[in-house]
Amino acid sequence: MKTILAAYSGVLKGTGSSILSSLQDLPTALWPCSSKMKKHLQVISVLQWVISFLAMGIACTLLLIYMFCTDCWLIAALYTAWLIVDWNTPKQGRKQVYT
């Protein structure tokens, strides 16, 4: 774990070390070969993206409903009004011009 954190800080500082190269330095008991490690990392990244995509929709919807119950209800109402007005824009294939 220290190796991964050191590589991450190296990426932030611009020293050129990468997280992938630090993962390859881990003991072979964890990662028998680098091709398996790359497959595992790809599967983990795809699962993370899918779960994030699904969770963000639910979380933002719940946040909007919660905002209606707080003092920020005006922001939620304005956003909902914009969402209703702009609903058919993707079907038109261009940005809708309001005149």
Report if residue 50 sits inside a domain.
yes
Backbone angle region of 14, left / alpha / beta, with phi > 0 → left and psi within -120 to 50 → alpha: left
Written as six digits, the tokens of 96 are: 């809708």
Spatial distance between the Cα atoms of 76 and 82, rounded to a whole number of angstroms: 10
pLDDT 10s digits, 49-77: 999 998 999 999 999 999 999 999 999 99
What pLDDT shows up at residue 40? Answer: 87
Report if residue 77 sits inside a domain.
no
Q: For residue 39, give its domain range.
A: 2-66
Residue of 54, 79, 56 whose CA lies nearest to 68:
79
Q: What one-character DSSP code corresponds to residue 29?
A: T
Report if residue 94 sits inside a domain.
no
pLDDT 10s digits, 7-49: 555 545 655 556 666 666 666 555 566 678 888 888 999 999 9
Tally the domains of the chain: 1
pTM beyond 0.75: the answer is no
